[in-house]
Amino acid sequence: MKIRIPNIDDKESFIEDKQSIVLLGANGAGKTRMSVWIDENNPELNVHRISAQKSLDMPEYVSPTELKKAEDRFLYGTTNDNRIWLESDGKRYSRWGNNPETHMLNDYQPLMEFLMTENFEKSIEYREKHKEGNQEFDNETKLEKIKKIWEKVITHRRLQISAGKIEVESVDGNSDKYNGNAMSDGERAIFHYIAEVVSAKDNSLIIIDEPENHLHNSILERLWNEIEAERQDCVYLYITHNLDFARTRNNTQIVWIKNMIDKQKWDYELLDSNDFSDDLLLEILGNRHGVLFVEGTPDKSIDRKLYSRLFPKYNIIPLEGCASVIQATKAYNKLPMLHYKTIKGIVDRDRRNEGEINSLLRDKIYVPSVAEIENLFLIPQVIELVARKQSIENVDVLLEQTKEKTIEFLKLHLEEQALLFTKKRCQNTINNVCNQSTQTIDDYKTSLDEIVDKVKPQEEYSKACKELQKIVDDKDYLAALRVINNKGLLPFTNVSNAFGWKKQNYIDYVIRLLGIQDSTSEELCNIFRNYVTVGD
């Protein structure tokens, strides 16, 4: 199938020989409007579009009517002998209310009338053929095809087709039968999607805006696999925010829509299949915001929870450890297609020296003024604000106790922390030697031989102990937060207990305060941004 798409650089453009197409882009980029353009600018194709905004009000009962008129009312919203008008203006005005981008699709009634009429006609045909003694013909109705697919997707229920209505019952027979219009939204949506595609004309381009609507992820892929398998003569154009689903489509052309220039023109690119295998790239392309890579996992990342509130202009993407954040930030900033995107990263301080921090900064990777993210919740002003919100008296006493416990923690773990610094510094020395520019293998061997002389672990350890001991002696609280790399610090300080909470409850409360959108939230944001910034 050859599908016309909007011009690229004022040249006619087409997509050919693809099983599916995915329109990808941020909200407001013009994906739906492009799908309408494709619908209306391919008059030689049978195009059937299912909008994201649609009524799932399934009629309780319908009567059969004239088959061709029933089909026309389903496909075009009306019927007329003038086929040219019907398939263009008639469709636009009747099916889409002359507003195809935003009109709510309300075609369940004509869809069911068409299906019941076709089912009725097939029943008559079946009787006539049998009277003639002919049993070698395909008499499967569209409703029977829909039932077959629906029951593959929803395995614990089955459909019963009777005169003018659909009924539902459990497979085990332990529940009462009920009319199809009493199905759940998800069950009716599944029926509607299947029925729309099964009822489309042969060799259609099927446009589905948000195929994930009303559906659980666990059945989304299975449903559309079954539908595509049933109608292999069709090409499917999906407009979806579900990137996991989009990646499951076969022989797919990705259309990345950056923005809509006017009603008939878009800034967009056709991406190749290699780009579609890059999960991060798709997430970046599918969001209008800048990107901020952080450490952690999507479901348990304190980094994501905190930074999404501190930096709302960014799409926060957690990437496990700091190495992944650094690598991704550097790599995606080098991609020409992302030149217009702001892509940054934040990593924990993790014993980095000023030279390393400045080097990361040149690559748009930022480092907080504390050793790791949990230490941000021990910033004095944060504790004071929480105490004020909780009406805690003697805040000065609480703050002083927290500082004393922090210094005590560093004193108890001084040798452990000094060893971590020593390992880091020795590793840096080894890396510098290994990365020296050498022209011959002999030069390289000589450089490696120098490692033993240049790496001085005892000297580095003594130096680290001295530096940490000075922080203890000076009772330098902020310096302690800058160097202590141990998640046991926060519970050790007992600051959470002072509020009657566990460690995680304290962190959750602070993050919740950030999301309230009031003067307290603004004050708290400003406190945190004094210790962690992304250069805005």
Q: What is the pLDDT of residues 47-72, one digit of tens each?
A: 999 999 999 999 999 999 999 999 99
Q: Is the dihedral of CA 41, 42, 46, 49 positive or negative?
A: negative
Delimiting residues of CATH 3.40.50 domain(s) in the chain:
2-280
**Measured between alpha carbons, how far is 283 from 290 in angstroms, rounded to an integer?**
11
At which residue do the structure tokens 């068409």 appear?
A: 114
pLDDT tens readout for residues 17-28 = 999 999 988 888
CA-based nearest residue to 268, from 479, 35, 528? 35
Residue 57 has phi, psi (to 5 degrees) of -80, 90
Give me the long-range contacts of 509-512 (CB less than 8 A, separation at least 24). 509/386, 510/377, 510/382, 510/386, 511/305, 511/306, 511/309
Q: Which two tokens stand for residue 322?
A: 């700091």
Query: What angle, 0 to 180 degrees and rounded to 10, lies between the N-to-C axes of helices 414-434 and 395-412?
Result: 60
Pairing mode, strands 290-294 and 165-170: unpaired
> What's the pLDDT band for 399 if we cut at 50, 70, 90?
very high
CA-based nearest residue to 331, from 340, 343, 346? 343
pLDDT at residue 273 greater than cutoff 80: no
**Measured between alpha carbons, how far is 131 from 80 in angstroms, rounded to an integer?**
35
CB atoms within 10 A of CB 439: 7
Q: Is the dihedral of CA 406, 411, 417, 418 positive or negative?
A: positive
**Measured between alpha carbons, how far is 66 from 402 in angstroms, rounded to an integer?**
82
Cα within 13 Å of Cα(153), Cβ side? 28
At which residue do the structure tokens 């050793």 appear?
A: 371
pLDDT at 517: 79
Q: Which residues contact 463 (CB under 8 A, 6 or more apart)?
A: none
Q: Which two tokens stand for residue 433?
A: 């030697």
pLDDT at 126: 74
pLDDT mean over 151-159: 92
pLDDT at 217: 82
Q: Are 206 and 50 in contact (CB under 8 A)?
A: yes
> What's the pLDDT band for 503 if we cut at 50, 70, 90?
confident
pLDDT tens readout for residues 68-84 = 999 999 999 999 999 99
Q: How far is CA 154 from the centre of its chain?
A: 26
pLDDT at 277: 55
**Measured between alpha carbons, how far is 235 from 219 in angstroms, rounded to an integer?**
21
pLDDT mean over 509-529: 91
> What's the pLDDT band for 436 if we cut at 50, 70, 90?
low
Q: How far is CA 341 from the centre of its chain?
A: 17
CA-based nearest residue to 484, from 406, 385, 394, 422? 406
Q: Are 474 and 482 in contact (CB under 8 A)?
A: no
pLDDT at 137: 65
CA distances from 536 to 312, 371, 507, 520 (A): 12, 22, 25, 21
Q: Model-level pTM greater than 0.85?
A: no
HEC per residue, 217-237: HHHHHHHHHHHHHHCCCCEEE
CB atoms within 10 A of CB 505: 12
Q: Are 69 and 79 in contact (CB under 8 A)?
A: yes
CA-based nearest residue to 343, from 391, 396, 416, 284? 284
CA-based nearest residue to 295, from 379, 368, 381? 368
**Which class is domain 2-280?**
alpha beta
User: What are the beta bridge partners of residue 205?
Assistant: 47, 235
Q: Are 489 and 287 in contact (CB under 8 A)?
A: no
CB atoms within 10 A of CB 60: 13
Q: Are 141 and 67 in contact (CB under 8 A)?
A: no
pLDDT at 242: 84
pLDDT at 99: 93
Find the range with the poorest average confidence among 63-77, 154-168, 274-288: 274-288
> What's the pLDDT band for 271 if we cut at 50, 70, 90?
confident
Task: Identify the helix (H) or strand (E) that includes residue 194.
Answer: helix 185-199
SS3 240: coil
CA-based nearest residue to 119, from 190, 63, 74, 73? 63
SS3 46: strand
pLDDT at 245: 87
Q: Which residues contact 473 (CB under 8 A, 6 or more apart)?
A: none
Find the range with the poorest average confidence among 127-131, 159-163, 244-248, 281-285: 127-131
Residue 443 has phi, psi (to 5 degrees) of -60, -40
Q: Is 500 exposed, middle or buried (0-12, 13-18, 19+ CB in 10 A)?
A: exposed
Strand boundaries in 250-305, DSSP class E: 252-262, 265-271, 290-294
**Measured between alpha carbons, how far is 49 from 287 in angstroms, rounded to an integer?**
24
pLDDT at residue 276 greater than cutoff 60: no
What is the b/e burial string over 192-220, where b = at least 16 CB atoms within 10 angstroms of the residue's CB?
bbbbbbbbbeeebbbbbbbbbbbbeeeeb
Gyration radius (Cα) of the chain, Å: 32
Pairing mode, strands 2-8 and 11-16: antiparallel
